[in-house]
Structure 1
Amino acid sequence: MPHHREPTLADVAERAGVSLTTVSRVLNNRGYLSQATRSCVAEAIKELGYRPNQVARALHGKSTHSIGIIVPTVALPFFGELSSEIEDALAEHGYRTLICNSLDRRDREHDYLDLLVSHRVDGIISGAHNEDLSEYRSIHKPLVAVDRDLSPIVPNVRCANEDSARQATEHLLARGARRPALLTSRTGAHNRREAGYRAVLEEAGIEPVIIAIDFHTPDERRAQMIREGLDALRDQVDAVFATDDLSAADALEWAHARGLDVPGEFKVVGFDGTAALRRALPGLTTVQQPIRAIARTAVDLLLEQITALRDDDERPRPAHQVIELPGTLLQGRTT
């Protein structure tokens, strides 16, 4: 047999000396077949290196045992760790994963959605940043969102962002900060970490200071913009609450470059608390997201939808629900 193409079901049947129907029955464990026939087909599959076509199986109403995961990029510590935890949880249930990095681009996310649907994945978990993408309303597959409201009909699992941000801001004030700034990627009503920060400052009678640097900004330019923003506010703020740890690291670097004592003259709190950043900056005060719990809750919700769909094709998708899991303030040497 030529080696330049994948072996087919017909190749297996020819090698085993049986019909296509018999090979199909062996693969799907359907009907009575002698152990000798089963062994013969199994041996042919092994010799040829045959892999069942999962998409073809799906077209016949069978599960592909695959799940799509869409994130902005696994290069970011939070999404890298989240993807790993989701993949691990799904593997325990016999599912494989296809991880797609949207790079926060709507066109790329759209293309990945088309790809996952065409490959007949059993469900999709999305943590992409492109909110209210209309395609999510038209996908008739089990769906769960992580950390973002993708659509009113998609369940969302996330950290209790507003409460956690309140903890972080209250901690800065308790440690002596008089006017902390918020360093974030996007400002607006959807930013629940910003909402927590603003609520605490309003209660304390302090005017908020927001430095917003878009998520799309390249790393080198982002660090430069953080330095410029903090330079402009040097005489106005004495602390930063950053809504991610990488930005907190840039704020710390700025403080050290300007000769500021941390935490005496300048204080910093981050957000995420991933294993990678905890190793790189063990002294950073940060809010640790419950990443493992978020991942496993999202997987549980998705598997519930898959099971419901398998048992009753007419069952509607569950109503929108938001599950918030508490973050943990980890105190370090930066406050």
Structure 2
Amino acid sequence: MRNMAKPKLSDVAKRAGVSATTVSRVLNNRGYLSAATKQAVHQAIDELGYRPNEIARSLLGQRTYLIGLIVPTVANPFFGELAAAIEGALATSGYKMLLCNSQGQAEQERAYLDLLQANQVDGIITSAHNDLIDGYAHATLPIVAVDRQMGAHIPNVRSDNAMGGRIATELLINQGCRSIVLVTATDSPQNARAGAYRTALKAAGIASNVFEYGFDTPRQARQARLFDWLDCQSELDGLFATDDLTALLALEWAKRRSIEVPDALKIVGYDGTPMVTQSVPGLTTVVQPIDRIAERAVSVLLARIGATASVRPPDEIVLPVDMHRGWTA
């Protein structure tokens, strides 16, 4: 029977004809070693399928070159494409990513935060949206947030939500809409998109009307609640949704109710991921610069990993948004 035991460092040393210390020096790139010695060790590693214990190496003061990413769910196109972009940006610097889907649940996010710290990742990028996760305040490793205010000690990389909310709302106003609703996951003072919507409507002398469906609401329940609410909006002629999936639900509602878009109802979404703009190019939506957000989040995190404690990171990095014009508005 084939021996299925995992190869050890001593097995690599025996195969390469060198000492275990020499194998360790090759793995950690320490001290002078001849090209022949390095080649012999790497050949033995490949032949045996040896994998270094990254956690054990981290306990010796070495980096694991692992970064944890916490998002609500990659089933959402924005977070899925954000995760892919972050993974790509990390790879260019020799890092790998551990993906954690919190499913919008605070307890699951806490558990992942504890898990990542226990497994000695070098840093964490978080874009989950649960409030009151006290573990971040006590974390001992570098953390960067994406579109999430977590305190001055954690940098926040985001798009310009206020700008996005303003241009979406002003587009509807300028196209003659006078009963414009906002559909959003959470309507709070921290929601800059909602704040900009209200500001723009107030300047135009138009009353605001907001539907809040709850961030962790399952899609079918969200659809049912949204359809019921929209059925009660008799004068509705404009709709701004703070994410594209909800905008597409509104478009489906209009289709089922035989409401002509954009003649009788104009719809604007938010996020503008390539998946959505390519599969539903007709949706007018605010476009977040996902690749740039990922690149900046990674660069800030890696700078924090390599910096001394006295170096203060930027509190916030805000990137401009754009507008994709389709036929829905």
Asked if TM exceeds 0.5, the reply is yes
Alignment of 1:225-236 (within 5 A): 225-233=225-233, 235-236=234-235
Alignment of 1:195-274 (within 5 A): 195-233=195-233, 235-274=234-273
Q: Look up the SS of the partner of 2:137 in the other structure.
A: helix
**Alpha-carbon distance, 1:182 to partner:** 0.3
Q: Look up the SS of the partner of 1:114 in the other structure.
A: helix
| Counterpart amino acid of residue 7 in structure 2 | P
CA contact (8 A) 1:133 1:150 kept: no
| Counterpart amino acid of residue 324 in structure 1 | V
* Structure 2 partner of 1:328: 322
Mapped to 2, the partners of 1:127 and 1:194 lie a distance apart of 19
Mapped to 2, the partners of 1:94 and 1:186 lie a distance apart of 37
| Counterpart amino acid of residue 21 in structure 1 | T
CA contact (8 A) 2:304 2:313 kept: no
Comparing 31-40 with 126-135, which one deviates more in the overlay? Answer: 31-40
Deviations 1:103-136 (A, max 9, x none): 1111111111122112211111110111341111
**Alpha-carbon distance, 1:224 to partner:** 1.2
CA contact (8 A) 1:142 1:305 kept: yes
Mapped to 1, the partners of 2:237 and 2:202 lie a distance apart of 17
| Counterpart amino acid of residue 296 in structure 2 | T
Mapped to 2, the partners of 1:37 and 1:251 lie a distance apart of 64
Residues matched between the structures, number: 329
* Structure 1 partner of 2:117: 117
* Structure 1 partner of 2:277: 278
Tell me the C-alpha RMSD between the 2 structures. 1.7
Distance change >3 Å, CA 136–CA 236, structure 1 → 2:
same
Comparing 110-119 with 174-183, which one deviates more in the overlay? Answer: 110-119
* Structure 2 partner of 1:59: 59
* Structure 1 partner of 2:126: 126
CA contact (8 A) 1:100 1:112 kept: yes
Comparing 48-57 with 27-36, which one deviates more in the overlay? Answer: 27-36
Comparing 162-171 with 149-158, which one deviates more in the overlay? Answer: 149-158
* Structure 1 partner of 2:83: 83
* Structure 1 partner of 2:138: 138
Deviations 1:122-181 (A, max 9, x none): 111110111341111111211110011133311001111011101100100100101100
**Alpha-carbon distance, 1:17 to partner:** 4.1
**Alpha-carbon distance, 1:33 to partner:** 4.2
CA contact (8 A) 1:67 1:121 kept: yes
* Structure 2 partner of 1:290: 289
**Alpha-carbon distance, 1:43 to partner:** 2.9
Q: Look up the SS of the partner of 2:268 in the other structure.
A: strand
**Alpha-carbon distance, 1:194 to partner:** 0.5
Deviations 1:24-56 (A, max 9, x none): 122223334455544433332222111111111
CA contact (8 A) 1:72 1:103 kept: yes
Mapped to 2, the partners of 1:69 and 1:205 lie a distance apart of 43
Mapped to 2, the partners of 1:270 and 1:43 lie a distance apart of 53
Comparing 112-121 with 40-49, which one deviates more in the overlay? Answer: 40-49
Scaled by the length of structure 2, what TM-score is found? 0.95
Distance change >3 Å, CA 29–CA 326, structure 1 → 2:
closer
Mapped to 1, the partners of 2:174 and 2:32 lie a distance apart of 73
Mapped to 2, the partners of 1:298 and 1:107 lie a distance apart of 24
Distance change >3 Å, CA 266–CA 34, structure 1 → 2:
closer
Scaled by the length of structure 1, what TM-score is found? 0.93
Mapped to 2, the partners of 1:85 and 1:225 lie a distance apart of 33
* Structure 2 partner of 1:150: 150
**Alpha-carbon distance, 1:319 to partner:** 5.1
